[in-house]
Chains A and B, each alone.
Chain A
Amino acid sequence: MAEVTLKDVRKVYPGNVEAVKGISIDIPDGKLCVLVGPSGCGKSTLIRMIAGLESITSGTVSIGSKVVNQVEPADRDIAMVFQSYALYPHMSVYDNMAYGLKNRGTPKAEIDSRVKEAARILAIESFLDRKPRQLSGGQRQRVAMGRAIVRKPQVFLFDEPLSNLDAKLRGQMRIEIKKLQQTLGVTSVYVTHDQVEAMTLADVLVVMNEGRAEQIDTPIGVYERPASVFVAGFIGSPAMNLMKAKSTGQAGLDLAGGGSVKLREMSTPEAGRDILLGVRPEHMSVVTEDDADLLLDVSVIETLGADTLAHGHVAGGKPGGGELVVRLPGSTRVNVGDRLALAIQPGMAHLFDASSGRRI
């Protein structure tokens, strides 16, 4: 068991391409840390540096209390699940799982008991003699997991392990990974671009963008208090409404696209400051016109059953300006052309500085 600590880790590729621009993360012992971000944000590079598959340009990676920058992958006591599973195609499932133990000179009897136990946990006992090509995608994924857990490593690394599975299986495996990680209590780092995986699995969520950690927090912290416009837009579905606005200085904002929004129970920035207002679609509710913070002219309605999404623009806005989505309970009856009086739930309006994109 060990905590993983990254201290100002940077990666510069030849040609001066800076893939990771100084990231520090503390992952406590037994916790699961998810690195999430769009492709090219440096998350895979970062996990490969923890694994020892990429050199570290500067900064330190420690597992336990030991700095492992110069330690070979084999000696870091880690196990990794690859996106492609990377199963050895010429070996049986049993041999795939036993390979790492054999290389470390584990006695045969112990290898056998560990492989059998892992197979039991993952319900792949009946495939032990098969070759990887005779397995379905989900079964291969389990074998890849099995290969990681038989080693009983200090750290698990998952590099987008579910992205090759279909949606249904992905949901199922996500829950299994969570369960497994909790039972085994092994410190884990998990890379994904899927925000649902990120939200559901993480103890520590790191949202990455262009080689930087935009925010490191609990999933709910990231959701409720996004540190930047990028995080606000990346986490949540449908995405948070972000609107350009100017502060009136008096508990209100003038939207750049026309119309205005009242702000309650929060301090308003000084008048004239350019800001971005962010409100999640699910954090607005229909109220009487007197209590409304803003008015929405509905132009498109998406009925999803459980929810209804109403798209439109803020009343008084120019066409094409002030676009907004609201998530309403499925029972709400709305028609195109309706004017909805909406109130932002207390504390659920987010203000960001227009130029830096940081939370105010």
Chain B
Amino acid sequence: MSPRVTFPNKILPYLLLAPQLAITLVFFYWPASQALYQSMLREDPFGLKTKFVWFQNFAKVLNDPNYLNSLKVTVVFSASTAIIAMGMALILAVMADRVVRGRGIYRTLLIWPYAVAPAIAGMLWLFMFNPTMGSFAYMLRATGYNWDPLLNGNQAMVLLVSAAAWKQISYNFLFFVAGLQAIPKSLIEAAAIDGAGPNKRFWTIVFPLLAPTTFFLLVINTVYAFFDTFGIVHAVTGGGPGKATETLVYKVYSDGFVNLILGDSAAQSVILMVIVIALTAVQFRYVERRVHYG
């Protein structure tokens, strides 16, 4: 332990902290408290009167079948996105770890998609799989598959998950590659001498030692799928067809900014915040205990 730094000046420490505190206050606590306050207000249709209604907005939102549908959509979307993004990244990272020649180029190419903005990524996938002009949609139809994400909710979800996962794979890949490199070669060699084949080595040695990385990515990917995929949803499906791909974040947006039901929207965002906090807490409480840090 390094000795504690003591400041003779009583005000200086607070001054040094002030910029960071100000930013946190202005950009997090203020909007968050505003959202909390807003979630307990109800406005008349013309925006002339505002009434304080306590938790009525929450009760209304939680009893709304559309909201429950959105919750289900989000769970399916987030779980699929996180699992696919992490699974694919892990496979690619393990492969990349075995590449001997051209390793640098291979890795750099795999990292590029991360530099693509979510909305652009969404547009790319939308164009590729657009039923009327997408080349992949054309190929799918050529195989006899009835591809139409504009009408089929499940197909729309598949498209959305693909786009969201595709973008996140690069990020996960980067971390998995670093995680794999941190595992000493001699451990793998010792396991090989101990009679473990490549498959067994992966599951009994490599995967457990990657656990800290995997856990970190699980938290990051969950948060990503919950919050950062708005752009993709907006660009690819706009929540449709019907409400088949309307995630919680997207519903907050459409209720608040499109339908202008501010109270409901604020209540939803507060619930969303609680969900993510709870999820992260659960992950840390239960998953992290099984994680071994070197």
Interface bin, chain A: 20 to 34
A64 vs chain B, min Cβ distance (A): 17
In the complex the two chains form, is A74's CB within 8 Å of B192's CB? yes
What residues on A are CB-neighbors of B190 within 8 Å?
Answer: 80, 82, 86, 88, 147
Tell which of B192, B194, B292 touches A90, judged by Cβ atoms closer than 8 Å. B292
What 0/1 readout, one digit per residue, does chain A (38-69) give for beta carbons within 8 Å of chain B?
A: 00000000000001110000000000000000
Q: Which of B195, B197, B204 has the most CB of A within 10 A?
A: B195
Q: In this assembly, does A103 line the interface, its C-beta being within 8 Å of a C-beta of chain B? A: yes
A78 vs chain B, min Cβ distance (A): 7
In the complex the two chains form, is B196's CB within 8 Å of A74's CB? yes
Q: In this assembly, does A73 line the interface, its C-beta being within 8 Å of a C-beta of chain B? A: yes
Of B121-129, B171-179, B181-189, the one contacting chain A is B181-189
Interface bin, chain B: 20 to 34
Chain B stretch 7-65: residues in CB contact (< 8 A) with chain A: none
Q: In this assembly, does B193 line the interface, its C-beta being within 8 Å of a C-beta of chain A? A: yes
Q: In this assembly, does A231 line the interface, its C-beta being within 8 Å of a C-beta of chain B? A: no
Q: In this assembly, does A241 line the interface, its C-beta being within 8 Å of a C-beta of chain B? A: no
Q: In this assembly, does B141 line the interface, its C-beta being within 8 Å of a C-beta of chain A? A: no
Q: Chain A: which residue is nearest B194 at the CB level?
A: A100
In the complex the two chains form, is B196's CB within 8 Å of A103's CB? yes
Chain A stretch 285-302: residues in CB contact (< 8 A) with chain B: none
Q: In this assembly, does A99 line the interface, its C-beta being within 8 Å of a C-beta of chain B? A: yes
In the complex the two chains form, is A90's CB within 8 Å of B209's CB? yes
In the complex the two chains form, is A53's CB within 8 Å of B191's CB? no
Tell which of B187, B200, B204 touches A86, judged by Cβ atoms closer than 8 Å. B187
In the complex the two chains form, is B292's CB within 8 Å of A100's CB? no
Q: In this assembly, does B238 line the interface, its C-beta being within 8 Å of a C-beta of chain A? A: no
What 0/1 readout, one digit per residue, does chain A (230-248) give for beta carbons within 8 Å of chain B?
A: 0000000000000000000
What residues on B are CB-neighbors of A78 within 8 Å?
Answer: 193
Q: In this assembly, does B205 line the interface, its C-beta being within 8 Å of a C-beta of chain A? A: yes
Tell which of B187, B194, B204, B292 touches A74, judged by Cβ atoms closer than 8 Å. B194
B166 vs chain A, min Cβ distance (A): 32
What 0/1 readout, one digit per residue, does chain B (221-232) give for beta carbons within 8 Å of chain A?
A: 000000000000
B210 vs chain A, min Cβ distance (A): 10
A82-B186, A103-B200 known; A88+B193 contact, CB < 8 A: no
In the complex the two chains form, is B191's CB within 8 Å of A82's CB? no
What 0/1 readout, one digit per residue, does chain A (82-105) give for beta carbons within 8 Å of chain B?
A: 111010111000000001100110
A88 to B187, CA, bound (A): 7
A163 to B209, CA, bound (A): 26
Q: Chain B: which residue is nearest A95 at the CB level?
A: B204
Q: Which of A52, A86, A133, A147 has the most CB of B within 10 A?
A: A86
B81 vs chain A, min Cβ distance (A): 28
A147 to B191, CA, bound (A): 11
In the complex the two chains form, is B209's CB within 8 Å of A51's CB? no
In the complex the two chains form, is B184's CB within 8 Å of A84's CB? yes
What residues on A are CB-neighbors of B294 within 8 Å?
Answer: 89, 133
In the complex the two chains form, is B184's CB within 8 Å of A86's CB? yes
Q: In this assembly, does B256 line the interface, its C-beta being within 8 Å of a C-beta of chain A? A: no
In the complex the two chains form, is B184's CB within 8 Å of A73's CB? no
B129 vs chain A, min Cβ distance (A): 42
A103 to B193, CA, bound (A): 10
What residues on A are CB-neighbors of B194 within 8 Å?
Answer: 74, 99-100, 103, 147, 151
In the complex the two chains form, is B192's CB within 8 Å of A88's CB? no
Q: In this assembly, does A162 line the interface, its C-beta being within 8 Å of a C-beta of chain B? A: no
A133 to B205, CA, bound (A): 16
Q: In this assembly, does B240 line the interface, its C-beta being within 8 Å of a C-beta of chain A? A: no
Tell which of A51, A53, A89, A104 touches B292, judged by Cβ atoms closer than 8 Å. A89
A92 to B132, CA, bound (A): 59
What residues on B are CB-neighbors of A103 within 8 Å?
Answer: 194-196, 200
A interface vs B, CB < 8 Å? 51-53, 72-74, 78-80, 82-84, 86, 88-90, 99-100, 103-104, 133, 147, 151
B interface vs A, CB < 8 Å? 184, 186-187, 189-197, 200, 204-205, 208-209, 211, 292, 294
Query: What are the nearest 3 A-B pairs in CB distance?
Result: A100-B194, A103-B195, A86-B186
17 contacts between A and B (CB under 8 A): A73-B193, A74-B195, A80-B190, A80-B193, A82-B186, A84-B186, A86-B187, A86-B190, A88-B205, A89-B209, A89-B292, A89-B294, A100-B194, A100-B195, A103-B200, A133-B294, A147-B190
